[in-house]
Amino acid sequence: MRKYRKTEHIENFLRSTYVGDALFSDIFLYNDSIPEINYDEIDTSVDFLNKRVKFPLMINAMTGGSNLSEEINRNLANVALEFDLPMAVGSQTIALEDEDSRKSFEIVREIIKDGIVISNLSGFSSVEDAKKAVELLRADAIQIHLNPAQELVQTEGERNFCGILKNVEEIVKKSEVPVIVKEVGFGMSPKTVKKLYDIGVRYVDISGYGGTNFFEIENLRDPNSDISDLFSWGIPTALSLIEAKRLNLKDLCIISAGGLKNSMDIVKSIVAGASMAAISGEVLSYIVRGGYEYTLKYVDGIIEKTKMLMMLSGAKNIAELQKVDYKVTGKLKELLEG
């Protein structure tokens, strides 16, 4: 059942056509005509999960558990290795239940070697399962996903979320590796971020609206139901990010995800308060439709263009980029002021 769901998620992601707006176009950055920076000395490296990585972009959680997933994970891991990008695997519940499916996850650690690999389980998982998931990959961290919107529209999905915060707190308290709590494309409200911070969470991945849309994916999985009226639900990524940052919570690492596709989205994410950016859908689409070599070109282009935008913003490293001024316009401005 789970194995089919994995494949169906990928296939239906690729069939999806709905286009949301993460509102990055409402973030405005200034051009610096006197940057006084040598392009070749621009430093894009950052500290993340106790390691130094070359670039503030990770490949976010997607898959594992089926033959198709194994092939995709192998390709994604090779891309991650090539550019020293952290990579998260998809939910490992299937790997805990079915030994045969483990290889499709383990391959990620085998390929990435000493780089950053991140486990993934749901907010309902037990502390023991979280530990097992981490052990399986010798993971540097574990993502715990919160996906009530997605669960509600799955016929087999969870409908009772009572006690989930307490459960996440247990995992955070007992985990030996950092815990990243993440959404899956509907965004986190400032209230959610604060609640997570108060139980000890120091890494949030806000995965907002504007990219992968699980309402549409689930709708495509089940031709007998029509939930197209729900497709516009969710907090646009740029709004979720800026509101999380404005909480001013000490030592909170915010990962910007949801609808990121290019260097402009990454740069704007960092300027608006993210410590790390993450992409899922767009990189999956490149791998499946364009192949491995084409994906390498895509990521290489992202890195080069990010450096150009850093130079034009007057920032020679990521710490300076985080301090760059920006303005908000349009709908994003209205939402922030409303």
61 labeled part of a ligand binding site: yes
Dist. CA 245–CA 274, nearest whole Å: 8
Q: Is 281 annotated as a binding residue?
A: yes
Encoded amino acid at 250, one letter: K
Run of H or E residues at 121: strand 117-122
Using the rule CB under 6 A, is 93 a contact of ligand FNR?
A: no
In the list 131, 145, 245, 316, the residue contacting ligand FNR (rule: CB under 6 A) is: 145
Among 44, 60, 192, 269, binds ligand FNR (CB under 6 A): 60
Please indicate if the annotation marks 36 as binding a ligand. no
Closest CA to 177 of 143, 206, 129: 143
- 3-state secondary structure at position 46: strand
From candidates 95, 137, 184, 271, binder to ligand FNR by CB under 6 A: 184
Tell me if 279 contacts ligand FNR by CB under 6 A. Answer: yes
Q: Is 56 in the site for ligand FNR (CB under 6 A)?
A: no
Binding region for ligand FNR (CB under 6 A) out of 7-15, 170-178, 191-199, 304-312: 7-15
Asked if 8 contacts 221 with a C-beta cutoff of 8 angstroms, the reply is yes
Q: Does 108 bind ligand FNR (CB under 6 A)?
A: no
List Cβ neighbours of 214 (8 Å cut-off, separation of 6 or more). 147, 149, 150, 153, 184, 185, 186
- Residue 317 C-beta-side C-alpha neighbours within 13 Å: 7
* Among the listed residues 86, 123, 178, 281, the single contact to ligand FNR using CB under 6 A: 281
Number of residues that bind ligand FNR (CB under 6 A): 27
Cβ proximity to ligand FNR, 60 vs 219, nearer residue: 60
Q: Which of 56, 65, 86, 90 binds ligand FNR (CB under 6 A)?
A: 90
- Residue with the CB atom nearest ligand FNR in the bound state: 211
CB 252 within 8 A of CB 197: yes
Q: Is 263 annotated as a binding residue?
A: no
Distances from the Cα of 309 to the Cα of 17, 193, 242, 265, 317, angstroms: 29, 29, 20, 11, 11
Going by their DSSP bridges, the two strands 203-205 and 179-182 should be labelled as parallel
Per the rule left: phi > 0, alpha: psi between -120 and 50, beta: everything else, 248 is: left
Smallest gap from Cβ 184 to ligand FNR, in A, equals 4
211 binds ligand FNR (CB under 6 A): yes
Q: Is 291 annotated as a binding residue?
A: no
How many C-alpha atoms does 162 have within 13 Å on its Cβ side? Answer: 1
Residue of the chain from 178, 187, 258, 273 that contacts ligand FNR (CB under 6 A) = 258
Residues flagged as binding site for FMN: 61-63, 91, 120, 182, 207, 212, 259-261, 280-281
Residues flagged as binding site for Mg(2+): 151
Contacts to ligand FNR by CB under 6 A: 9-10, 13, 60-63, 90-91, 120, 143, 145, 182, 184-185, 207, 211-212, 257-260, 279-282, 284
Residues flagged as binding site for substrate: 5-6, 150
